[in-house]
Structure 1
Amino acid sequence: MFNLQNILRKNIKELVPYSSARDEFKGEASVFLDANENAYGSPLSESYNRYPDPLQFKVKKRLSEIKGVPPQNIFLGNGSDEAIDILFRAFCNPGSDNVITVPPTYGMYEVSANINDVEVRKIKLTADYQLNMEAISEAVDEHTKIIFICSPNNPTGNSINRDDIETILANFNGLVVIDEAYINYSRQKTFIQELTEYSNLVVLQTLSKAWGLAGLRVGMAFASEEIIEVFNKVKPPYNINEASQELALEALQNVEQVNSWIKETVAEREKLKAELSILPSVLTIYPSDANFILVKTINPKEIYQFMVNKGIIVRDRSKVELCEGCLRITIGTPKENKLLIEAFKNFEELNKI
């Protein structure tokens, strides 16, 4: 049976978190002389001379309405990367514990592990980019604290089989982190609704993709109240600045606009796949539930450099294991996608393909 206290680091159990001025006062007031702020104001905005809400209540309240989970089950981080880093710092003892990743996948899991001196056990996806369940089971030992699963996966774009994820959730006594950065573009259901079913589940999402707020750096983690309390205990006191909170809250009022962008992106994804599939230089286009596609080409490095020279930047993933020969292409606007196709055709003409 999963027990959070069994995997929480001893020093984190005993940690007394920093108590900020805004943590100690709750309620309404007109004169704030508690936090050594500049009482005269700010050159930018009347509100920016004050420290932000350390727990981002207004933003979480709005997210709660959209996502259908209580605010106490939500953590906001400086991008999803902050949530990933906190998971290592709170649950993994440096030099002794390990985590499991399933490459090819998002690279920050491994980077954060290396920063925190935590062993990474890499269990490659199968040829069709699904979990190797037997190998994962064999890799788990008493020091395995976290299994990271990105679904839809980056850089492959496909969703991971839901039954396999649920099997891991039901049988693993550590944390299972489902990174759903691209879930808005998928027909698959989010795992957020399973939080009451699995106490070891952590779901990561972001406002960087479908919500178009990559520049604000606002990531989300959804988990049990007990796990969220650990996040809040470890995080810096004011990890989300006031400007990001204000702009995120404003953006979260525009659900219809975002849904419209999602529909258009998915339609453009299918159109782009169809147009690329008839090109001689394109060998394979892998299934995608994200706002990008993984495309296997006959000469990815040459195509990549040709695109750069045309002012079009895609991602060369040809050196990534199981992605040999592949470029990762984000779905652009109709105009941008048209320019991409034209560039592919120009490359083929020049190289007589």
Structure 2
Amino acid sequence: MFDLNNLLRDNIKKLTPYSSARDEFKGEASVYLDANENSLGSPLTKWYNRYPDPLQWKVKEKLSAIKGVRPENIFLGNGSDECIDILYRAFCDPGKDNIIICPPTYGMYEVSANINDVAIRKVPLTPAYQLNLEGIEDAVDEHTKIIWLCSPNNPTGNSLNREDVELVLNNFAGLVVVDEAYINFSRHRSFVQELEEYPNLVVLQTLSKAWGLAGLRLGMAFAGESIINIYNKVKPPYNISEATQELVLKALEEVGMVNDMIRILVDQRNQLAKALSEVELVQKIHPSDANFLLVQMPDANKVYNFLLEKGIVVRDRSKVTLCEGCLRITVGTEVENNKLISALKDFTP
């Protein structure tokens, strides 16, 4: 049985969060003399001398309309990495608790666990890159606080079977985090719409991929209001800058443009996969629901270095569990993809 209070660290239960000037006053005023800001402005613009909204309500309200969830069910982080780190700091007792990851998967789950001194239990995916449900069940004990699931998965590109994820959600008393950084490139339904059904569910998304805003560093966590309240209790007071909030609000007006970019990238992904299949060097192209392809070939490291010499940078994943001999190739523009294919055809073992 899921009980949020049993998962939470004792020090977080007792924590009195920092109360900023903008937490204590909400709304609009003509004279602000409460936050020790520079009243004369800044070298950039008058706006940036003021602290930003600490809870980013305007951005959340806009996202609420796009995602179909209440603003109170949204947390905004300095990239998804902050959304990941806060869960460790709030729920996992250092040196005592553990989490489960399913490699190959996104590396920050492990890095953040190590930073927070939380034990890691690895249950590798099956050769088909799906969940090993029996392995996960065997790995869980009374100190397991979080299971991390990435779907579509990075670096494999495939989506996890929805029924398997639901099985984990229904049978695990801790938090289940479904990282959907690449969901916009997939035809699979997001788990964001399942928040009311699963109180232990946290869904991560980002504006770095489909929205093309990697430089702004805005990650999103969707969860029940009780979990979002804990996020807000632990986060730094002003974790999202005013400039980021302004630019994100502007970008969120362009849903049509983003959908067009997604269609183009998915089409380019399919064309790139077809072109790669005609390259003699390529042994296997793994199915992808993301904006990249995992491609197997002989001596992947040698190919990686050859491409570097040609000024083409891909990701060498050949030393990652279950990705032996593989390069991860992001879908580029048509011109960039053609340069890649031409270079691969020039490669001689």
Common fold by TM > 0.5: yes
Structure 2 counterpart of 1:258: 258
Q: Shift in Å at residue 302 of structure 1?
A: 1.3
Rounded to whole Å, the distance in 1 between the matches of 2:74 and 2:45 is 28
Structure 1 counterpart of 2:268: 268
Q: Shift in Å at residue 99 of structure 1?
A: 0.2
The answer to whether 1:17 aligns with 2:17 is: yes
SS in structure 2 at match of 1:47: helix
Q: Shift in Å at residue 31 of structure 1?
A: 0.5
CA root-mean-square deviation? 0.6
CA deviation map 1:187-240 (0-9, x unaligned)? 110000000000000000000000000000000000000000000000000000
Rounded to whole Å, the distance in 2 between the matches of 1:59 and 1:76 is 9
Counting only pairs closer than 5 Å after superposition, residues 145-164 of structure 1 correspond to structure 2 as 145-164=145-164
Query: Letter of the aligned partner of 1:72 in structure 2?
Result: E
Query: Letter of the aligned partner of 2:109 in structure 1?
Result: Y
Counting only pairs closer than 5 Å after superposition, residues 113-128 of structure 1 correspond to structure 2 as 113-128=113-128
Q: Shift in Å at residue 28 of structure 1?
A: 2.0
CA deviation map 1:155-209 (0-9, x unaligned)? 0000000000000000100000000000000011000000000000000000000
Query: Letter of the aligned partner of 1:135 in structure 2?
Result: G
Structure 2 counterpart of 1:88: 88
Structure 2 counterpart of 1:330: 330
Counting only pairs closer than 5 Å after superposition, residues 98-247 of structure 1 correspond to structure 2 as 98-247=98-247
The answer to whether 1:284 aligns with 2:284 is: yes
Q: Shift in Å at residue 69 of structure 1?
A: 0.1
Structure 1 counterpart of 2:26: 26
Rounded to whole Å, the distance in 2 between the matches of 1:28 and 1:46 is 16
Rounded to whole Å, the distance in 2 between the matches of 1:208 and 1:45 is 26
Structure 1 counterpart of 2:70: 70
What residue ranges of structure 1 are gaps of 5+ in the alignment? none
Q: Shift in Å at residue 46 of structure 1?
A: 1.4
Give the percent of matched residue pairs that are identical in Structure 1 and Structure 2.
Answer: 68
Rounded to whole Å, the distance in 1 between the matches of 2:312 and 2:326 is 16
Query: Letter of the aligned partner of 2:284 in structure 1?
Result: T
Rounded to whole Å, the distance in 1 between the matches of 2:90 and 2:11 is 9
Query: Letter of the aligned partner of 1:343 in structure 2?
Result: A
Task: Could you list the structure 1 runs, at least 4 aligned residues long, displaced by more than 2 angstroms after superposition.
Answer: none
Q: Shift in Å at residue 328 of structure 1?
A: 0.1
Rounded to whole Å, the distance in 1 between the matches of 2:290 and 2:46 is 40
Q: Shift in Å at residue 279 of structure 1?
A: 1.2
Query: Letter of the aligned partner of 1:309 in structure 2?
Result: E
SS in structure 2 at match of 1:327: strand
Query: Letter of the aligned partner of 1:149 in structure 2?
Result: L
Q: Shift in Å at residue 27 of structure 1?
A: 2.1
Rounded to whole Å, the distance in 2 between the matches of 1:174 and 1:71 is 24
Query: Letter of the aligned partner of 1:320 in structure 2?
Result: V
Query: Letter of the aligned partner of 2:54 in structure 1?
Result: P
Query: Letter of the aligned partner of 1:239 in structure 2?
Result: N
The answer to whether 1:38 aligns with 2:38 is: yes
Q: Shift in Å at residue 298 of structure 1?
A: 1.1
Q: Shift in Å at residue 301 of structure 1?
A: 1.1
Q: Shift in Å at residue 65 of structure 1?
A: 0.3
SS in structure 2 at match of 1:34: coil
SS in structure 1 at match of 2:221: strand
Rounded to whole Å, the distance in 1 between the matches of 2:152 and 2:309 is 31
Rounded to whole Å, the distance in 2 between the matches of 1:187 and 1:29 is 45
Structure 1 counterpart of 2:47: 47
Q: Shift in Å at residue 120 of structure 1?
A: 0.4
SS in structure 1 at match of 2:88: helix
